[in-house]
Amino acid sequence: MPTRKFEVKGRVQGVGFRWFTRTQAINLGLSGNTRNKLNGDVEVVLEGSNKDLEQMEGLLKQGPPSSRVDEIDSKEVKEELGFGFEILPTSSE
């Protein structure tokens, strides 16, 4: 299964973005994780079908109602995530 890493930039912390991401990923059957970054971005790593990953990218661009997504950087990564979805502690990377 393909795995993609998304760096979401904008007003994405303190607005429920990680919980929104978790809910949408679970609804699509995607595995992965999300975390806040110290620079104000949110990192999302997801594993699933290309179709579901594309759909999820569209949802990330929308975000929850109180968010503002300015940009999303996306790249394929070599990670095996297993099952489920986690919200991880803040990353300094």
- Active-site positions read 18, 36
pTM for the model stands at 0.90
* Tokens 């299964």, residue located: 1
β-pair type (68-76, 3-11): antiparallel
For 10, the token pair is 């904008």
- Burial label for 90, CB within 10 Å (0-12, 13-18, 19+), is exposed
Q: What is the pLDDT of residues 28-56, one digit of tens each?
A: 999 999 999 999 999 999 999 999 999 99
pLDDT, position 60: 98
- Burial label for 66, CB within 10 Å (0-12, 13-18, 19+), is exposed
Rg (CA), the chain: 12
> What are the residue boundaries of the structural domains of the chain, listed by start?
3-87
pLDDT, position 93: 66
What CATH number has the domain spanning 3-87? 3.30.70.100
Query: In this structure, which amino acid lies at residue 25?
Result: A
